[in-house]
Structure 1
């Protein structure tokens, strides 16, 4: 009798877990309460995997010996609560894949910067000739690759939701970029729960492993003092750093690792701005752990192309810069965006608020923002935060209206910035859809 594996959610991670489960001899059943995309239905059919769309057949699900759930399904969902009451193990796709993975892993998390750092680390390793895979929140499903590829190293971007379903998984190199309030709606509006979730990145690490973290982040610094950390610690920050890790000396990034020193002017980095200096430092340290040579590292940090929907300088129309930062789904991301622009800003903001506190933006908005276009079904919180500070605030309910309104409010030499500080699900499929619609409407001006 085969062990029964139920996969809840049939997106990239769920389908990947189903393929790996089948390969490892499980009897697999995939169930999605939403509509499964046609391309994934076709894959499941091709692999002859049993699935259902737009429903959960509870009797079948409750027979599972192991359940892999999509990171998007909260633990409070009724079906998950019933499984937990039955003491059925419910894990994430990353945890499941980790059981069958023999490659080294670089796992990257944080409230902001994790996608850029993940793609930059992958770029450096790949360019240096490492047999490397890209997984987690970006790239192809980790489980799918473990089932069908043969990489030596994986660079894996992990959200807190993925980390929550990870128990025995161990990262060879764990990278923690920063911790600022995000997704608090999923953590009972308790920052402690969110911090604990992020720190799961270092669970099970031994003295043979590495923990790369931002020494300038107060939340991380406080938390480190409370914990016993087994891994070798490699901090990075904007002050000078004599020990192993990364720091700044004048305008030079200096990375020390195992008696090897790397230096590079921040002016030569392809990614500019303070937040990107952090991203480059973290990726640089991780690469040095994997013995990437200094000249290869320097070349890759200078020619990396950046990430779509993250501070993407898109077009200039009649002297107005249009910047797509749709990936900014929390207030801290938007802070970095506003901080990095040195022209008057027309800011397009709004969406599904995740327990946002906009007060950290007060000074930047006061100094730089001449108008706000509120793009969401409910903009009351944005109005409450900024009505007194910004003379022009406009409410819109579509991207077409948002871009037109911003264009009329901007003048030659200004910047229109889409940096919503909110999730996208009220009006868009996801942040990519929101960013693509923005770019389409800018092209149409």
Structure 2
């Protein structure tokens, strides 16, 4: 043993002397070896990443196509995420204009047959059909956007996702509020110049074109209204529904009716350019009226009437979801993120936005990111003249298709008021704010 140890020590000494005698060449050799190893590791990682990316095949079921703002935003997000992750065009199969009917089931079945291991639908009415197909194919992951019962199904392969778009709606409301304040304080908007734009108690009239009276829309228009009120408190809002996510004519008619009623700002939770186009037409005719859109920049449609649009940055979700799939990890059952993660935004400010709007927007966005601003702060609104101190949310999923609610998936009832604000999209990803706050009225009948 001692003899062996001595031989080993001698060998070490010889090696050390040799190393000292040629340190430069030795270091160069070591560096080359390290570089080679690093290059090999990088190549191996890149190859593994490429292989993982190539294993993913995504099926996309869309309620519209690129001509419809909401769908266009999804398409943009999917393509951006795919490009960033090195995916090829043939790894994504698109299904356009799929109605909220059994056609969604057929589309999903076809996508499974084409080898898709992730299938996404982008409209609320697709959800029950996605659930049905997901139960048949446990090895395929299904995501229903804006859905609300994935967590209740017990299916590991069925997911829901949405963004905290109420945050960007609030910010778009701040933009509108800045404009209302400017109009009033400059004397451009007064009871003398446009009398029908004020309520009997002196509040400026705001209009909103909504698709349906779902919580998703109620949450959005309330956030928009509260954004306006945070800048100019003396406002009242009228909401008109179209009973359609996308109907250019109805959305235009609703905007025209609201402007005829005196509304000076027209917001929207509807997916076409109908409302901004109608607002621009009325503005060109001499009315004081401006538009706040949804999903896409409306400046091309309404070059002087458009102030901004609330939008979703879908790339954030799709990049996370695709990456999870590539890494063999589960996609979150309920996903919803906002300004803090770059998942929502507003589009470019229009040329007639009030002076100081950009600075105000930056201030509010910073507050939303750091949590110092809460959109549904209970100090900012009342219901029936009272401050809201409790808002129990029943997470049970009810089917209303028969005319009376039928509980399909039983869920818990949880409190949404936390630390003085309504905590939206934390109990599930889909919005559940359905309170009807004071100073907002909904028309009983949808626009014809």
When you count helix as a share of all residues, which structure comes out higher?
A: 2
When you count strand as a share of all residues, which structure comes out higher?
A: 1
TM-score when normalising by structure 1 = 0.29
TM-score when normalising by structure 2 = 0.29
Which protein has the larger Cα radius of gyration, Structure 1 or Structure 2? 2
